[in-house]
Chain A
Amino acid sequence: MNLNFWVIQTFNGISYGALLFLVGSGLSLIFGVMRIVNLSHGSYFMLGGYVALTVIWTTGSWLLAIPVAAIAIALLGLAMERIFLRQLGFDPLRQVLLTVGFAFLFQQAALDLWTGNNFDINPPAALSQSIPVGGIFLPLYRVFMIAIALAIGVALWLVMEKTRIGAQVRATVDDAQMARGVGIDTSRISMMIFSLGAFLAALGGVIGGAFLGIYPGLDFEMLPIAFAVVIIGGMGSLGGAAIGALIVGLADNFGKALFPEISYFTLYAPMALILAVKPTGLFGRE
């Protein structure tokens, strides 16, 4: 295992982490604001990819597919929160079950609408090359993934830290009751965050589609990994989600390369341990 191996694996881990940041940050915010274990998050990821496929098939434009898919799924998330989740109030079990009930419905709908075949979302040729960096060839698409994640991360950070609505969100994460006490409309915040989470997940699905593919079952495969990101990084914390995504991305890559037989175990065992010791995650706040 020479230096090249380590560099490539690290790069792959970071780029996978970029994807996970998109999926995980949304989930982390949803949990932080609403305390909901959203088991349909993986479905949003998958559906984002499927919608993108349809856009590409009808218009031929990959570039268009990205925002259309993300916004479409954001609207879906909005509807789900407003019409269904809102009714339940704070009830962790029923919320979980509702989200999973919908996940099953989405799964079946996806199967019916797009068949059970495995698809790839092919990015434009321009992004499919590799660029030479210091003797190694790095796929440009992966660089693109990292760039997008960084851009989104910065944008989210700016909104959270520098805008009034970001402050309201942070207040709600810290103490929802207190936030209501000072007049913050937490139901509106919840709706927005849920929708944003769906948006980010779908974005992840489109971007990840070139690299993971889109297929039935992707939803429940991605879901636990997204939770690992949230737990390791900390619920409700954007920075935590970034760190968690990085850790999970690297651990997954190195795990598969070095210890393939226990690679998933090495991912979920730390998650369980962290939860046992600090339930809100490494950087989470209660």
Chain B
Amino acid sequence: MQSHSWKILMVIAALAAVLIIVPHTGSFVILLVTRALAFSILVMSLDILLGYTGLASLGQAAYLGIGAYTTAILATKYNVGLGWDFWLVILLGILFGAALAAVFGLLAIRASGVYFLMITLALGQCVWGLAYRWNSLTGGDNGINMRQRPKFGGIDLANEMTFFFLVFGIFCVALLLMYTLVRSPFGRSLAGIRERELRMQILGYNTWLHKYIAFIIAGAFGGLSGVLWAHTAGIVSPVNVELTTSVDALLMAVLGGSGTLVGGVIGTFIVFGLREFLSTLVPWWQYVLGVVYVATILYLPTGLMGIPERLRQQRAGGDRVVKKLAPVT
């Protein structure tokens, strides 16, 4: 349990560092960190499916989409969500994300492995197709421009710093909730399903139900990230729900290390950092990103967070007597 407490301390330290340092940097960094924080909620939701339940989804962006489009449509067409009712929209984003996942999950959860990849791809494309073509509702290819940020109780979210604090706060709450989830009995049951679903069934778990609930929870957090993303990015368009966005999230989760929650956040920050930062310095940054992805997948499947464990194994491999499966007659 020692390493556990260490990890928690490091996470708290990192969060504190972000909270203290970022406000003193320029607006470019503040904006970048805000965007990364919002997107990393989506990536963490994907990690719950991928790293903890063993389900790789190619359509998680759909939930970001429903949260974002709900926010945008309510704000621009009905003037809802720009005052105290911003919190109502947050709630709606979460509910709609969960509801969409509840519907999609009925179709998807029966599948596993490659079939799950493909069915989530198809479902994600359904949402994209509607976003792209239902011009009257979603603005089609042009998307919806968010004209203003909410203002309530003397707090004006148009101020980048204030907005950063809000997103940071919500991010911390989301992280805490998801952390509690994965350490809870339900969360542990997901890990069991990932490791040996058949055994779990024999032990008395209704694994379909557990996976379904996990899928809905991931959708709920996805919806939350969508609400924040709409306000962070200032525009909601079909790009937010296209396949490449879902794939991005998946790659970020794997890069940082799936099954660690925090790994997803690290992966998000690295990619966003490379994208926004490196892109201004060198024209070949995309190749760096591509090579990093490929190298991680080939040589570091447990991601960056998995490095300490790999080092430990390599060091231990020499002097520890690894008891192998020795079938005796």
The answer to whether A binds B is yes
Which B residues lie within 8 Å of A176 (CB)?
A: none
Using Cβ atoms and an 8 Å threshold, which residues of chain B touch A273? 107
CA–CA, A88 and B111, complex, Å: 22
Q: Which of B115, B134, B287, B297 contacts A275 (CB 8 A)?
A: B115
Q: Please give 17 more A-B residue pairs, beta carbons under 8 A apart, in addition to A220-B244, A268-B122, A276-B110.
A: A92-B117, A93-B50, A93-B117, A96-B117, A97-B293, A98-B297, A101-B294, A105-B287, A105-B291, A223-B243, A224-B121, A224-B243, A231-B118, A263-B133, A265-B130, A268-B125, A272-B119
Count of A-B contacts judged by CB separation below 8 Å: 123
Which of A31, A94, A231, A267 is in CB contact (< 8 Å) with B301? A94
Q: Bound complex: CA of A276 vs CA of B112, how far in Å?
A: 11
How far is B297's CA from A39's CA once the two chains are assembled, in angstroms?
15
Smallest CB gap from A91: residue in B: B301
Task: State the CA gap A101–B108 with chains docked (Å).
Answer: 25
Residues of B within 8 A of A116 (CB): none
Q: Determine whether the beta carbon of A262 is less than 8 Å from that of B133.
A: yes
* Contact residues in B for A264 (Cβ distance below 8 Å): 125-126, 128-130, 132-133
| Selected contact of A84 from candidates B121, B130, B136, B294, CB within 8 Å | B294
B122 contacts across to A, CB distance below 8 A: 224, 227-228, 231, 268, 271-272, 275
The secondary-structure label for the interface of chain A is: helix
A-B contact pairs, 6 of them (CB 8 A): A84-B298, A94-B301, A101-B251, A220-B243, A268-B125, A276-B106
Query: What's the minimum C-beta distance from B262 to chain A, rounded to whole angstroms?
Result: 20
| Chain B residue with Cβ nearest A272 | B122
A residues 238-271 near B (Cβ < 8 Å) are 260-265, 267-269, 271
Q: What 0/1 readout, one digit per residue, does chain B (233-275) give for beta carbons within 8 Å of chain A?
A: 0000000001110010011001000000000000000000000
Q: Please tell me if the beta carbons of A276 and B108 are within 8 angstroms of each other in the complex.
A: yes
Please give the residue numbers on chain B whose beta carbons come within 8 Å of chain A beta carbons, in ascending order. Answer: 50, 56, 58, 106-108, 110-111, 113-115, 117-119, 121-123, 125-126, 128-130, 132-136, 242-244, 247, 250-251, 254, 286-287, 289-291, 293-294, 297-298, 301
| CB-based nearest A residue for B136 | A261
Are A97 and B114 neighbours in the complex by a CB distance under 8 Å?
no
Chain B neighbourhood of A96, CB < 8 A? 56, 58, 117
Q: Is there contact, CB below 8 Å, between A262 and B130?
A: yes
Per DSSP, chain B at the interface is helix
Residue of B nearest to A273 (CB): B107
Cα(A84)–Cα(B294), bound, Å: 9
Does the CB pair A276–B119 fall under 8 Å?
Answer: yes
Known contacts: A35-B114, A224-B121, A264-B129. The answer to whether A102 contacts B298 by CB under 8 A is no
How far, in angstroms, from A84 to B296 measured CA to CA in the complex?
Answer: 12
A105 touches B294 (CB 8 A): yes
> Which of A88, A104, A223, A271 contacts B298, CB < 8 Å?
A88
- A108 CB to closest chain B CB (Å) equals 4
- Scan A78-120; emit 1 where CB is below 8 A from any B CB, else 0: 0000001001100011101110111011011000000000000
A275 touches B251 (CB 8 A): no
Q: Tell me, yes or no, whether A123 is within 8 Å of chain B by CB.
A: no
* Given contact pairs A94-B297, A264-B132, A39 touches B113 in the complex (Cβ within 8 A): no
Q: Which residues of A contact B50 (CB under 8 A)?
A: 93
Which of B121, B136, B242, B293 has the largest number of chain A CB atoms within 10 A? B121
Residues of B within 8 Å of A262, CB to CB, are 129-130, 133-134
Whole-angstrom CA separation of A256 from B130 in the bound complex: 13
Closest 8 CB pairs of A and B: A264-B129, A105-B290, A101-B293, A276-B107, A108-B286, A272-B122, A279-B115, A275-B119
Are the CB atoms of A272 and B114 closer together than 8 Å?
no
Does A200 have its Cβ within 8 Å of any Cβ on chain B? no
Report how far A264 CA is from B125 CA in the complex, Å: 8
| Chain B residues within an 8 Å CB radius of A84 | 294, 298
Per the bound structure, the CA–CA distance linking A260 and B251 in Å amounts to 33
A20 close to B (CB within 8 Å): no
A196 within 8 Å of B (CB atoms): no
CB pair A276–B286 under 8 Å, yes or no, is no
> With contacts A260-B133, A261-B135 known, is A97 near B108, CB below 8 A?
no
- Return chain A residues, CB-CB under 8 Å to B298: 84, 87-88, 98
**Contact of A261 with B133 in the complex, beta carbons under 8 Å:** yes
Distance of A262 Cα from B287 Cα, bound (Å): 36
CB distance from A221 to the nearest CB of B (A): 9
Are B290's CB and A268's CB within 8 A? no
A271-B122, A279-B115 given; A265·B129 CB < 8 A: yes
Collect the chain A residues with CB atoms within 8 Å of residue B125's CB: 224, 228, 264, 268, 271
Return chain B residues, CB-CB under 8 Å to A105: 286-287, 290-291, 294
The answer to whether A93 and B56 have CB atoms under 8 Å apart is yes
CA distance A108 to B274 in the complex (A): 15
